[in-house]
Amino acid sequence: MLKKLALILSILPKLGYRNVAYMLWYRISMKLGWRQRKFPLGTPIIGPFFKATMPVADYPENWKAKTLEKADNILEGKLTWFHYHNVQGSNPPNWFQNPFDGSVLNRPNKHWTALSDFDLNTGDVKILWEPSRFDWLTDLARGYRITGEEKYLQTINQWLQDWSQHNPKNQGPNWKCGQETAIRVMKLITTAQILNQETTAEASVQRMIYEHLARIEGNINYAMAQDNNHGTSEAAALYIGVAFLIRQNHLAVPANTLHKWKRKGRRYLENRVLKLITAKGTFSQRSVTYHRVVVDTLSWTLIGMERYNEPSFAKPILERLEALGTLQYNMIASLKGEVPNLGSNDGAMFLTCHNSDYRDFRPSTQLFFGALKSQRVFESGAHDEPLFWMYGKAFKTFPKKEIAIPVLTSFDNELVVLNDGPIKAVLKLPNARYRFATCDAFHLDLWYKGENLLCDSGSYSYNAGEETEKFKSVRAHNTIQFGQHEQMPKISRFLYGKWLNVQKIAGPEYKQNKWSWKGDYTDHQNNRHTRLLQWDPKQQQLTITDTLESPKSEKKTLYWHFGQPENNSMVLTVTDGEGKLIQPKATNTSQSLYYMQKSPKTTHAYTTLGNQFITTMQF
């Protein structure tokens, strides 16, 4: 206990004294029941929620089959968890069932403050949250709008009615997280946009949105104290949610607090953008999945601002947003829109009005630049569908924007990205600006001709015990381990102590026909790791030199995780500081590209008692 306290005290300045003080106050208020009294239980909302509308006439024919397959699967009770696991359930679903083991939540009618996130009898709470993120809502709305068939509209209204019956305001796990309520606000408003009911929303929809906004507004300081995407999501939902309600022809909810809520939502969102997004576009959580969450959140916000006549953001915020989108574009590593699987990956994808795979970042990026700049960054394709629903045929007039991609770039001392022809390499740097989620300092992700040759292991699950820890471990990343210890000591499920910080940076630079970058960090046991990246474009050779200093005489291990079956596209060799070839120990391991999913990979572990590894990758 004292050891953990010491670790917490050492990172207090980085966590923020006000944030920590608020979290302590928040936990006390939960224990004393003050939160429960602040958020009284409600009653079910009676529909219908959405009314009939005319079908669209110009939906591309080659998109229809997948859209209708999704919608028809929903009618049969088939839902997709985490955009990967197809599960046969009921129509409507059991909102409190874990489909992976069949367990059903005990006492789901408790107030949300009386429920835990991590010791429910159904396991990971994210499993219960997934169908209540309302992805099915936009799928059914698209199916209805392109066919005009009443069965899709009827199912929308039946499922929303059933959801409200089992999840009245502030009751059960689906009200526990403010971000989950924000996601539902986004889906409800997006559905109104798809169905052309933005100013004529039914009283039931208005009430559902209003109750969700009240949950967000009353607890948003908790989200702000996290310094992550919870704050951006909740602030955006509060801002645009109120803007949507105010635009109604017949307002069916109390109006006295709406303008105050709207100002608060916008102010908090602007604060999050300027604090959590850097000048070069990196986001506080160091995760490509959460980076897309913020991109999608801000696309939705920009579209709402335009539709509901809200004033534009100031120039400094717009510059941060453009940098955010440009970095996401830079991270795309294949023609299928895939990106390196860096950081926490919990299966989140807020933008769902398309049929592309979860791993395809093109729909998100295309919509973002459409909303921000009225431009496209990719040629036409299925990834245009979100633009179609938000802008109609007008999106085809958006010019294609060319984004320059430098050969070697550093993004705010958090990422170094190499782009040269068929080669893409991403080096993840330790940066103590915000909390760490994994021990992945100096992880290198390598792509060649759109194939992920050297990969990250992913996350798998946030609540799988030892399995979760395995995916967070330094051993799951393409980097160095000193002895048997982790790069940082663990304090709790989502918090490490003794944060690392990259130092003595040299580069990116181009000298003697080679590109290079170099930096180092020192861990809590005074082990120093220096990593030098060198790219020789003429020889098509990438060299990674790891120089190691340790006060202990213990082995050092270099891990390379092969995401693709070994082929002839790359020859990888590792030598020590004296030029002697090191033979690896190969083991069959797993990577997780989707939440709660595993696929095979091969891990090579190289060990030495010396002070250097030199890895040569010849293409």
> Which of 534, 562, 561 is CA-nearest to residue 546?
534
Amino acid at the residue 92: P
- Phi/psi for 329 (5° steps) reads -60, -45
Tokens 């944060």 — which residue? 499
Where b means 16+ CB within 10 Å and e means fewer, 133-149 reads bbbbbbbbbbbbbbbee
Beta bridge partner(s), residue 86 = 80
Q: How far apart are CA 565 and CA 317, in angstroms?
A: 44
Using an 8 Å Cβ cutoff, are 520 and 529 in contact? yes
Q: How far apart are CA 432 and CA 446, in angstroms?
A: 24
- Phi/psi for 282 (5° steps) reads -75, 150
Q: Name the DSSP class of 508.
A: E
Q: How far apart are CA 331 and CA 338, in angstroms?
A: 8
Please give the pLDDT value at position 98.
96
CATH architecture of 408-618: Distorted Sandwich (2.70)
> Which of 194, 566, 92, 597 is CA-nearest to residue 357?
597
Extract the tokens encoding 379.
């040629």
Beta bridge partner(s), residue 88 = 78
Please give the pLDDT value at position 336.
97
Look at residue 449 and give its three-state secondary structure.
coil
Mean pLDDT split into 10-residue runs, the chain, 619 residues:
79 87 90 94 97 95 97 97 96 96 95 87 94 98 98 98 98 97 98 98 98 98 96 98 98 97 98 97 97 98 98 98 98 97 96 97 98 97 98 94 93 96 97 92 97 96 92 98 95 90 92 96 96 97 97 95 83 95 97 97 97 97
Look at residue 180 and give its three-state secondary structure.
helix
Q: What is the dihedral of CA 115, 120, 126, 129, to 10 degrees?
A: -60
Residue by residue, DSSP assigns 16-30 as: -HHHHHHHHHHHHHH
Look at residue 505 and give its three-state secondary structure.
strand
Q: Name the DSSP class of 315.
A: H
36 burial level (CB within 10 Å; 0-12, 13-18, 19+) = middle
Amino acid at the residue 559: Y
Extract the tokens encoding 324.
């955010």
> Cis (ω within 30 of 0) for the bond into 92?
yes
Using an 8 Å Cβ cutoff, are 299 and 366 in contact? no
Q: How far apart are CA 138 and CA 142, in angstroms?
A: 6
Look at residue 8 and give its three-state secondary structure.
helix
Q: How far apart are CA 437 and CA 290, in angstroms?
A: 12
User: What is the reported pTM?
Assistant: 0.97
Is the backbone of residue 567 left (phi > 0), alpha (psi -120 to 50) or beta? beta
Amino acid at the residue 101: D
Q: Could you tell me the CA-to-CA distances from 464 to 218, 311, 595 in Å, in that order?
A: 32, 45, 11
- Phi/psi for 55 (5° steps) reads -70, 155
Extract the tokens encoding 519.
């930096």
Q: How far apart are CA 213 and CA 242, in angstroms?
A: 8
- Phi/psi for 544 (5° steps) reads -115, 120
Spell out the alpha helix ranges (H) of 116-174: 125-129, 135-147, 150-166
Using an 8 Å Cβ cutoff, are 415 and 282 in contact? yes
Q: How far apart are CA 289 and CA 296, in angstroms?
A: 11
114: Cβ contacts below 8 Å, ≥ 6 apart: 36
- Phi/psi for 351 (5° steps) reads -85, 110
**Helical packing angle, 229-246 and 178-194, nearest 10°:** 40
Look at residue 259 and give its three-state secondary structure.
helix
- Phi/psi for 594 (5° steps) reads -130, 155
Amino acid at the residue 136: W
Q: How far apart are CA 336 and CA 342, in angstroms?
A: 17
Using an 8 Å Cβ cutoff, are 138 and 67 in contact? no
Where b means 16+ CB within 10 Å and e means fewer, 295-305 reads bbbbbbbbbbb
Using an 8 Å Cβ cutoff, are 158 and 87 in contact? no
Extract the tokens encoding 216.
């967000």
Cα 220 to chain centroid distance, Å, stands at 19
Using an 8 Å Cβ cutoff, are 208 and 48 in contact? no
- Phi/psi for 269 (5° steps) reads -65, -45
